[in-house]
Each structure stands twice: as C-alpha cells, then as structure tokens.
Amino acid sequence: NAGVTQTPKFQVLKTGQSMTLQCAQDMNHEYMSWYRQDPGMGLRLIHYSVGAGITDQGEVPNGYNVSRSTTEDFPLRLLSAAPSQTSVYFCASSHAGNGELFFGEGSRLTVL
C-alpha cells in the first residue's frame, strides 16, 4: 500500500530553472494539496485540488503551478526557480472535507 508518493526526494536547481515535483496517491482521495515547510514557519499551503480538473490557490501560490488531470496525480511546477523557493515540499491527500491528511515523505529542494 503505497499511500502518497513524491518524487524526487532531493533536487538542486539553479535560479531560473524550471522543474516539476511529482505526487501520486493510490487511495482514491478526492482532495490533494501541496505544502511547503520552512524552519520556524510550519506548513504553508501552496495549491490544492478537490478533484480532477479543479485546482485552487492556497496561502503562498506565487511561482507555482498545478494541474489535476487524474484523481491520482497532482504535480507541482516551479516555473522559474528562485532561492526563496528553497524548502521542503509535502504533498498530501484526503477524502473531501476530511481533516485527516495523508502526507508524502517530502521533497527537499535547494535553489542556488
């Protein structure tokens, strides 16, 4: 039972590069979300989706894009990486309206 799978686990980018963080879940959850975690800041919501074809912005959406073409996948795209996007990124999923989020193991991104 894989749960929520994130790839890659580690990534180093140069300023201006683009990349996609992948997230997949096998629990048939309607809701998926991306958080970033910075020291002393807790977890902050970037984008979320309540189902295939539906996405919305969270607290800190600037510089990130998402899409939800299938129930299982919710990729996070960095359009032009900046050092301020150095962080640990977590993908999470749940059944709609349920506060019990299932998190992936995280993707540590460093932007030089």
Partner 1 sequence: GESVGLHLPTLSVQEGDNSIINCAYSNSASDYFIWYKQESGKGPQFIIDIRSNMDKRQGQRVTVLLNKTVKHLSLQIAATQPGDSAVYFCADLDYGGSQGNLIFGKGTKLSVKP
Pick the closer one to partner 1 by CB: 3 or 82.
3
Distance CA 46, CA 57 (A): 6
**Residue 103 binds partner 1 (CB under 8 A):** yes
**Residue 41 binds partner 1 (CB under 8 A):** yes
**x-marked contacts with partner 1 along 52-91 as a string, rule CB under 8 A:** --x-x-xx------------------------------x-
Q: Show Cβ contacts of residue 52 under 8 Å, excluding neighbours closer than 6 positions.
A: 68, 69, 70, 71
Supply the DSSP symbol for 73.
Answer: B
Residue span binding partner 1 (CB under 8 A) among the ranges 18-26, 31-39, 68-76, 79-87: 31-39
- Min. distance of Cβ 89 from partner 1 in angstroms? 10
Torsions phi, psi for 41 (to 5 deg): -115, -5
Distance CA 48, CA 44 (A): 11
